[in-house]
Every structure is written in structure tokens, then in C-alpha cells.
Amino acid sequence: MSVANVTPQSTSPKLGDRLLGGAQALGRALMLPIAVLPVAALLLRLGQNDMWGWTHNAYLIANGIPFFAQAGGAILDNPPLNLAMIFAVGIAYGLTSDGAAAIAGLVGYVVFLAVFKTMIPQLAGAPDIKGYNMGVFGGILIGVVAAWLYKRFHDIRLPDYLAFFGGRRFIPIITGVAAVVLGLLFGWIWPTVQGWINDLGTGIIGLGPLGPGIYGFLNRLLIPLGLHHVLNSYVWFQLGSYKGTTGDLSRYFAGDPTAGNWMAGFFPVMMFGLPAAALAMVRHAKFPKVAAGILLSAAFCSFLTGVTEPIEFAFIFVAPVLFVVHALLTGLSLFICNLLQIRIGFGFSAGLIDYVLNFTKSNSNNAWMILPLGAIYFVVYYFIFSFCIKVFNLGTPGRGEERTGLSADWILPESQRGPRASKNGKTAVASEETADQDTVLAAQVLEALGGRSNIDSVEGCITRLRLFVKEPEQIDDARLKDLGAAGVIKRGKIVQVVMGTQSDRIAERIKRLMKEGAETVAE
């Protein structure tokens, strides 16, 4: 066959794909510093005296446990420094997976904040630095810059007399220089930018209950793209101000009596609504025992901890109409909670643990209303999901194998998953001497993605693989679903494969296989 007339395809992603990919990568990297918040919030809450009113210990009733409060407050009570610093380090590492970038993020943020604090009083005519606060945005900015400089210069070669400072050692140095420039720049422009942000926040708050409702709807709608964390970072850490602290989450734990109204509406959905949705999917499954094996445990996880993705990814791709309904109901819940002036927050997510811990917090308001509202939401979710599944014959877990091409057990927990037979009937099973099951699965996923030559980059998130690929058409969607993928999302050369909570491990093994030049393991 002649190849003279074949036009080579461009392997470079388009600008739009690059921008979306960058936003998705940032959303993934944000999860690393955000993971610190639950522990900090837990310690801070356990340290408060109102937590110990049920005891007979006079000291605990009067003082709480001070060292717990100090431990949690070290992070949450000083967001312009400690929390933003954690974001700078976490994002730099999350985007590069290299400690040199993390150190650069730390150095860069310390330098940036020092220059910023010096410039604000001089150029903005504001002697009180507390009036101007970049919050975690400064940490996010420096983290992204440190990661970019790492990717650009991590293998730089310097002249012999400066060779010691070459390679990775150069990254903290160049990041520090960049931080000086950025500190000067933002020290000059931030008063104006903060004014815009305050106007935006005032505008959103000025919408009344509709503002949180819109946020709740968009929060769920952005889950497939992994961009909801970017939206959360503004609402949780930038929206509003209270005694120098910004963000609904940070202000809530700082004691702001008006905070928590942008978080309260998630409790009825995560504690009651989604477990009811899981029950509806089990009740209408052709294989209810198979569906119950994962959905009921996922429902308990959602109720207890507020981790919802195991349920949401069970219907996002096979029944998107349910996903839109879920997003609308989430927005409605935030709208209703705001109307009822329900205020309660969370350090991790809107599950029972955070609800119990924060129920008695002094600035929580009408938190008891979550329970009757949750009961109503349980009924609403159950009947709406049941109605849609039956009327539209939706391919939810345990019932949609013929329509979706998914095997009956694709929703099994990852501990029960293993390499599955391919379309030609062959099954790749590695012996324990040659590879563990994760490596076997990673090799098969790599093959289904078109091999190492088709992959520009791969990263793991909580529940999905994020990839840049050269030719999306080479990806075998059916094979990936045979291997346990709940869905495959493609937008140009950007691809996401939802593999559940094992995704991070698979991504690391795929990187290892690509580095070693191996696409398969012994059968």
C-alpha cells in the first residue's frame, strides 16, 4: 500500500485542549492540599470547649483541649500564611510529583508573601496589610509557577563554575526570583483585583438563596471534568471576609456567624439523597445482588463521610439524565437551606462525621433542620431515580449490560476486580513472581489506550486517569470497560478514564511501564 499521499496528523493538542487539560490538572493538584483540611478541622473542633459540655470535667467544659485547638488552628486560623503555604507546596508537588518543585513552592511563597506585604503599604497607601489578603490564591499562584518552572528548567545545564546549582537545584532559585517579581506585581495591582473579587462576591451573595443554589448546581455539573475543585477553592477560601479570614469554609471555622450557608445544602444530598439513589438503582437492577455489592457500601460511605463519587460515577456515564437531575436537586438543596437560614460547615465533606462534630458549634444555625429535610430528600431521590430508571429504561449498574456494553460485574469493588478476558477470549494473568495485580491491570489499560506511543502524559486522580493522547481513536473504549472502567471521557486529545479509587496506583504503574519501555507483562 502506498503511503506517499498520507498526511501526517498533528500530535500537539489544540490550545483549547491544553487550557482545559491545565485546568483539570490544577483541579487534581488541589486535592493534595485540600486533603490536609479534614485533620485540621477535626483537631480544631475537638479542641473547643462546647464539644465537652456533656462531660463533668470542669476544665474541659471551660477550656476544651487547648493543644488540639492550637494544632488545628495552626492551619485554619492563619490562612494567609500557613494554609496558602500548604497550597503552594501541595500544588507544586501535585503537578510535578517531584520534591524539588515542592521546595520551590515553599521558598517561592515565603519570598512572595514578604515582598507582597512590603509593597502593599507603600503602593496602595494601606498601612494595614490585614486589609488586603490574597488568601490561598497566592499559594495556588506560586504553586503553579513553581511547577511550570520545574518543567521548564529541571534539567538545565549551567557553566562548570555554577554546575552545582544546575538541574533540580536551580528550581528553588529561579522560583524565588520569579516570586520577587510576582510580589512586586501583585503588591501593585492587588488592591484593585481584590476590589473586583469583593464586588463579585457581593454580587453572588446579593443573589440571596439563588447564589448558593447556582453554586451547588455547577459544583455537581463540573464533576465529570474534575473542575469542581477549582470552583470550590473560590467559595471555600476566598468568598466573603471575617476578621482577616476569607472563604466560607475558613470563616466558618473562624467563628463567623454568617458562614456555613454555602456548605449546609450538601448535607441532605450526601447523607440522604445519594444513598436513596443507590437504593433505587439496586431495587431496579436485573442483578440486584451484584449492584448491592458496591452501591450499598458506596451509600454508607456517602452517608458517613460525604464521599460521593463511587455513587455518582455509577450513573454519570450510563444515565446522564440522572446526573442532571442530581445536579439540579443539589442546587435546590443549597437554595432551600439558605432560605431556612441553615448554617453548618464541614472540614472534609458533608457526611455524618462532620455533621455530628459541628452540630453544636456556636455559629451553626438551625442544623437540626438537616434531618427532616434529609428525610424528604431521601424520598424525593428514591422516587425520581426509580421513575427515570423505569420510564427511560436507563442502563444503571446491574441492569444496563446490553445497552452499555458493560459486563455485569463492572461495578464490583476494586478489591474484587481483576484482569478480564479481552474480546478475542485471551486473558492476561501474571504470575505472582512476575507482577502484582495492579501492574497487570495497568499493562492492560496501557494497551487499551493505544500503547505507550499514543500517550503524551498520564496522571492519576481520586477516581480517574487523566491523559493527553496523540490519537484518541486508537483507544479501545469497550476493552477499558471490560477492565473495570465506569466511563471514558474524550475531548479532543484530552481523555479521562474512570477507574475508581485504584486510579492513582494504575497511573503510577503506567508511568513505570512507559519509562521501562514495557507495554505488557508475562501472561
- At 470, phi and psi to the nearest 5? -80, -45
Give the three cell numbers for residue 507: 497511573
CB within 8 Å of 262: residues ≥ 6 apart: 212, 215, 235, 236, 239, 248, 334
Q: How many CB atoms lie within 10 A of CB 71?
A: 17
**Which is nearest to 237 in space by CA: 307, 305, 141?**
141
Q: How far apart, in whole angstroms, are the C-alpha atoms of residue 458 and residue 95? A: 11
- Which letter, b or e, does each residue of 340-350 get, where b requires 16 or more Cβ atoms within 10 Å of its Cβ? bebbbbbbbbb
Q: For 420-516, which CATH class?
A: alpha beta
Q: What is the pTM of this model?
A: 0.67
**pLDDT tens-digit series, residues 9-43:** 445 556 666 666 666 677 667 767 766 766 776 77
Q: Is 250 exposed, middle or buried (0-12, 13-18, 19+ CB in 10 A)?
A: buried
pLDDT attached to residue 173: 93
Distances (CA, A) of 435 to 213, 508, 521: 49, 14, 7
- Rounded Cα distance, 49 and 62, in Å: 6
493 backbone dihedrals φ, ψ, rounded to 5°: -90, 5
The active-site residue out of 301, 337, 388, 461 is 461
DSSP-based helix, strand, coil % in the chain, nearest 5:
65, 5, 30
Orientation angle between helical segments 274-283 and 370-392, nearest 10 degrees:
30
Strands (E), 217-312: 241-242, 245-246
Calpha distance 337→176 (Å, rounded) = 45
DSSP string for residues in 137-179: HHHHHHHHHHHHHHHHHTT----GGGGGG-GGGHHHHHHHHHH
CA distance linking residue 419 with residue 299, whole number of Å: 26
- Taking the C-alpha atoms of residue 373 and residue 336, their distance in angstroms, rounded to an integer, is 9
User: Rounded distance, CA 359 to CA 378, Å?
Assistant: 20
pLDDT for the residue 72 = 73
> Per-residue confidence of the chain (523 residues) as pLDDT tens digits?
444 444 444 455 566 666 666 666 776 677 677 667 667 767 776 776 666 666 666 666 566 677 777 777 777 666 556 778 888 998 898 888 888 899 999 999 999 998 988 887 655 455 455 567 777 788 889 999 999 999 888 888 888 777 788 888 899 999 999 999 999 998 888 888 877 877 777 788 788 899 999 999 998 988 776 677 778 888 888 888 888 788 899 899 888 999 999 999 999 999 999 999 999 999 988 878 777 877 888 888 889 888 787 788 778 777 889 999 999 999 999 999 999 999 999 987 899 989 998 998 989 999 999 999 999 999 999 999 999 998 988 878 777 554 444 444 444 444 434 444 444 444 444 444 445 677 888 888 998 998 888 888 888 776 778 888 888 888 988 888 788 777 788 877 888 887 776 777 888 888 888 887 644 443 4
Q: How far apart are CA 407 and CA 399, in angstroms?
A: 10
In 3-state terms, what secondary structure has residue 379?
helix
**Residues 323/274, Cβ–Cβ less than 8 Å:** no
Catalytic annotation present for 301: no
Q: What do you get for the CA distance between the two ends of the chain, in Å? A: 34
The Cα 313–Cα 310 span in angstroms is 6
Sheet holding 494-498, edge to edge: 455-460, 464-469, 494-498, 487-491
CA distance 342 to 262: 10
- Domain residue limits, the chain: 15-208+228-253, 266-404, 420-516
C-alpha distances (whole Å) from 99 to each of 56, 95, 146, 174 are: 48, 11, 11, 15
Helix, strand, or coil (residue 427): coil
What is the dihedral angle through the alpha carbons of 22, 28, 34, 35, rounded to the nearest 10 degrees? -160
Strands (E) located in 225-268: 241-242, 245-246
Helix axis angle for 228-237 and 136-153, nearest 10°, is 140
Q: Which three cell numbers stand for residue 522?
A: 508475562
Looking at the DSSP assignment, which residues form a beta bridge with residue 343?
365
pLDDT recorded at residue 9: 47
For 110, the grid coordinates are 515565603
